[in-house]
Amino acid sequence: MAQTPDALAREWFETVWNRLDESAIDRLLHPDATVHGLAPRPLKGAAEFKPFFHTLKNSLGNIRVEIERSIVQGDTAAVLCHVTAKHVGDALGGPASGKPVDFWGMTMVRAKDGLLIEGWNAYDFLTMYQQVGWVTSPVQPQ
């Protein structure tokens, strides 16, 4: 029996991000997969996703992605993720700050043939950039 979209999403975040198991990318991502929202253009397949994986892996130490909630409809799951890590490398485009980061995001995945065929991502990278000191916090209304 094929895994549900929710189970695939949970396995993805646990193995790819929490265990930093690059082989899981090839195992879980459909060869025709399209991943939106992580680069200026959609990433196609494992070969285009892996550079993004390496950038985060080399920049964020002790990365942990916890799925806090999921909603499933047919072949699609939406997951709310809590991300914690420490900014340890300069692969994101600026010097490592050594500061902890704590931010949230959402991913919507679609499954096909027991693999992830499509992903839509919306993560609060602005908060992460504020936490490492690259962006000053906006003035808060009073």
Calculate Rg over the CA atoms of the chain: 15
Residue 68 in any domain: the answer is yes
pLDDT score of 78 more than 90: yes
- Can you give the pLDDT at residue 3? 85
Give the residue among 110, 108, 116 at the shortest CA–CA distance from 26: 116
What is the pTM assigned to this prediction?
0.92
Give the residue among 106, 126, 128, 107 at the shortest CA–CA distance from 116: 107
Question: What is the extent of the structural domain holding 39?
Answer: 5-132
Average pLDDT for 123-141: 88
Residue 70 in any domain: the answer is yes
Average pLDDT for 56-68: 97
Residue 142 in any domain: the answer is no
Quick check: helix, strand or coil at residue 2? coil
Residue 74 in any domain: the answer is yes
Average pLDDT for 10-26: 98
We report the CATH number of the domain holding residue 65 as: 3.10.450.50
Residue 140 in any domain: the answer is no
% pLDDT > 70, the chain:
99
Average pLDDT for 46-60: 97
Q: Give the least confident one: 74-78, 81-85, 135-139.
A: 135-139
Query: What total of structural domains would you count in the chain?
Result: 1
% pLDDT > 90, the chain:
90
pLDDT score of 1 more than 70: no
Quick check: helix, strand or coil at residue 13? helix
Question: Rounded mean pLDDT of the chain?
Answer: 95
pLDDT score of 80 more than 50: yes
Residue with tokens 């699609």: 76
Residue 36 in any domain: the answer is yes
